[in-house]
A and B are shown apart, each in its own frame.
Chain A
Amino acid sequence: MLEYILAKYNFWIYVILMMIGLYAMMGKRNLVKKLIGMNIFQTSIILFFVSIGVKAGDATVPILKGDGHGHGEHLIQVADYLNPLPHVLMLTAIVVSIATTGVALATLILIYKRYNTLEEDEIMAIRKDASSYKTQR
């Protein structure tokens, strides 16, 4: 039982992080809190992928020992280096998350300038008032 927990507990931690992010995106009404929830969600995915590439034992970061021109690398063992592919893919994911966060923050600035609030229900109330005003006229 303890062995099973030790083999899986990191995945459970990432699932809990993902639940926190998803709940913040769905349940919170402040738009900045929704954005923070999205970032927590992305962080949990990134941690999950990086933890897939871990190899137990003496594995180190995937930088080969040697001069990089075919000398000194003839003893490469696959078990000596971590899996490089999740690291590469998560670099791409980090870039995408930065881009989405930047655009979302710029949009939030515009929303705040227009409605003077970032609470979702207040924005909806303002929009409702404006549309009823328009139909009256």
Chain B
Amino acid sequence: MIKNWFKLISLIAVTMTGALLIYGTHDMPAWGDPNSPANSHVSPRYILEATQKTATPNIVSAVLADYRSYDTLGESAVIFTASISCLFLLRRIRGRKEGEGKI
């Protein structure tokens, strides 16, 4: 069967991707390592200085709405675009009569 053949191909591809990623975790730092690169390069600066610079005790909201506020603005643009496109996609149905869009 052609369908099962395709499923087998995709299963092989997914397994190979997963094996490659599991091989890649060999180089990852251990879970919860305080000295891992992600925890020791940029984030100490945010933890130490965020409160003085933004007067916000919550560092996550300080970074989200102050350091990266342009990112949050773009994020709201994403949400706006998605909601507008949902609106137009679903509005088309109601204006059309039942069965008019069939092939």
Q: Given that A26-B13, A62-B47, A79-B34 are known contacts, is A18 also in contact with B18, CB under 8 Å in the complex?
A: yes
Q: Is A1 part of the binding interface, using a Cβ–Cβ cutoff of 8 Å? A: no
The answer to whether A88 and B63 have CB atoms under 8 Å apart is yes
Main secondary structure, interface of A, reads helix
Bitwise, A108-125 to B at CB < 8 A (1) or not (0) is 011001110000010000
B86–A52 touching, CB < 8 Å: no
| Residue-wise interface mask of A (10-27) relative to B, using a CB-CB cutoff of 8 A (1 in contact, 0 not) | 111001101100110011
| Given A27-B10, A55-B34; A83-B103 close (CB under 8 Å) | no
Main secondary structure of the interface of B (DSSP, over half): helix
A-B contact count (CB 8 A): 165
Residue A76 at the chain B interface, CB threshold 8 Å: yes
A91 close to B14 (CB less than 8 A): no
CA distance A130 to B93 in the complex (A): 21
In the complex, A54→B59 CA distance in Å? Answer: 15
Distance of A59 Cα from B55 Cα, bound (Å): 21
CA distance A126 to B102 in the complex (A): 11
A64 within 8 Å of B (CB atoms): yes
Told that A53-B38, A88-B63, A103-B86 touch, could you supply 16 new A-B pairs with CB distance under 8 A? A11-B22, A11-B28, A11-B31, A27-B7, A52-B38, A54-B31, A62-B47, A64-B57, A66-B51, A76-B47, A84-B46, A84-B47, A85-B38, A85-B42, A98-B82, A109-B90
A-contacting residues of B (Cβ < 8 Å)? Answer: 3, 6-7, 10-11, 13-15, 17-18, 21-22, 25-26, 28, 30-34, 36, 38-39, 42-44, 46-48, 50-52, 55-60, 63-64, 68, 71-72, 75, 78-79, 81-83, 85-86, 89-90, 92-93, 101-103
